[in-house]
Structure 1
């Protein structure tokens, strides 16, 4: 349970510097080279600590990942400077719903890759409203961050997507950013593969 990704170090939170984030990117690049993969169709997803890393990858390596899906995570750099990002970490301020302004959150992303002007990773944020380990406010903060970075605003809510307990938030036309919140859903919101593949653009 406590063997979590490094989403808090300056290395992971800085493009090309190191940490678990660069380790993942190195594996991606190796795979692309070895199997002649399409570098324009690389995606990232995860739950809990994996969702936290998904946000880190989108923030630190937007040049690598076309899109991501984060289930029960936190905003990019939310745990910055903490000793660790595990449930046993002495500082749980981030997981309890640390709040910043949208611009402050966006600045964490910009500072992770100074001078970057290319396309940004599209992202889906999914969270259970009954999550007591990583509070639902964490998803709200992540959506504040990415809506600013991706320059899209909330346009509509759709109830019943992907199922009756959920409400889907559409930002812009929904191709760059979506939020999905589940009523009565705790930590580890169930992964819905069809919705992810549709958002990624792999299926229609």
Structure 2
């Protein structure tokens, strides 16, 4: 029995490490991961690392990215795609390192009584201190703070959104559990009721757990994105629904989604929008996946959900003192990309194939194609790229196999959409922030 238990522990630890994903190759930047040894109140005794991209606005957004049990901040930096996305979009990334032993190594404390109280101590207070430090030292925007993480980090994501709804604007929890799922340290994996496969509370009970943290809070709650593999047995897939029940209750929404789609093969997404049409909750069921998230492209979907996918531009050191007296009336004759669209429409539906050609002189390694979807069109599924959001200004992110485009090379992606009469092709294409020609 002891040997079997040790083998299970070892397997779980390997799975937790696998949950870091394989990151795409990053371009050469001067920025590097920096450790901060004194960042403020640190009752959790945690380590802090931060990634500050070379190109960023004066007040960049802050993303807190948290590892799984047995991992570390530097490990999650190396094994996930958030730093490369920070290079592209100009936000700061904080990588905390958990130091408390539980279950499969060092994990984020989501079980102790102190961790379940706002400003009660332990890891949540340490993480909040890191966010404040990023604001003081690097000008990080305290009104644009986001949380994400894998496994133990996914659990802490939901935890921080419950404790500090006035600090975090949104979160993306990979393989997490609802807030207050763990009764105490003994309940933490590999044993216990929370992840034992039998956890089942009512939506009201889950929602009450969040509300009782700060009964007087009346502000806007942070939006949340939830991810889980259907074959995950370490943190059972059934806990995805428990998280859905918690957060729909917190938002006062029905547990029945307002829409569902498949952004890319194997990604089944449910969405819950409020009365204004704002999507407050997304839940992704990744078909056939075990305890192995986030995988390629998922970090980009999380960053898009946060609303951080506007590429940053380097500051101009010597801006012109007066605007041009005769601004150009036509765009430049050349562009680094060309997009050709082919639309096949019927009744209230259509499919669109977009052929992207690299017309520049340099290879493209990793791309995002932004475009305006005509009014009344809503994407319901796609292939060869992931798409977010489903309407308006949409960003298509490359799949794992088509992210590289040599000069002159092309790739074709596509989507299916509904429409209310306007079945035209998308417009205003931009590849990695650079406008594209059409035709």
- TM-score, normalised to structure 2, is 0.44
2:168 aligned to 65, 74, 80, which one? Answer: 65
Q: 1:1-204 residue pairs with structure 2 within 5 A?
A: 1=13, 2=104, 3-83=106-186, 85-87=188-190, 90-91=191-192, 93-95=193-195, 96-153=197-254, 154-159=257-262, 161=263, 163-172=264-273, 173=277, 175-191=279-295, 192-203=298-309
1:82/1:168 CA distance change after superposition, 3 Å: same
Residue deviations 1:33-78, cap 9 Å, x none?
2222211110000010000000100111111111000001100110
In 2, are the aligned partners of 1:48 and 1:71 still within 8 Å (CA)? yes
Residue deviations 1:60-107, cap 9 Å, x none?
1111111000001100110133436343xx42x111251110010001
Distance 1:69 1:80 in 2: 23
Deviation at 1:110, TM superposition (A): 0.8
Deviation at 1:155, TM superposition (A): 0.9
Distance 2:142 2:198 in 1: 34
Distance 2:176 2:111 in 1: 13
In 2, are the aligned partners of 1:12 and 1:19 still within 8 Å (CA)? yes
Deviation at 1:190, TM superposition (A): 2.6
What's the counterpart of residue 381 of structure 2?
A: none
Deviation at 1:174, TM superposition (A): 5.7
Gaps of 5+ in 2: 1-12, 14-103, 310-393, 395-439
DSSP 3-state at the match of 2:116: coil
Deviation at 1:152, TM superposition (A): 2.8
1:30/1:143 CA distance change after superposition, 3 Å: same
Residue deviations 1:16-35, cap 9 Å, x none?
11111111111111111222
More strand by share: 2
Residue deviations 1:133-162, cap 9 Å, x none?
011111100010001112233112102x2x
DSSP 3-state at the match of 1:134: coil
Distance 2:299 2:278 in 1: 17
Distance 2:132 2:299 in 1: 24
- TM-score, normalised to structure 1, is 0.92
Flag as ranges the 4+ runs of structure 1 deviating above 2 A.
80-87, 188-191
Larger RCO (CA within 8 A; separation ≥ 6): 1
Residue deviations 1:94-123, cap 9 Å, x none?
112511100100011011223111111110
Distance 2:178 2:160 in 1: 11
Gaps of 5+ in 1: none
Q: Which structure has the larger Rg over C-alpha atoms?
A: 2
More helix by share: 1
RMSD: 1.5
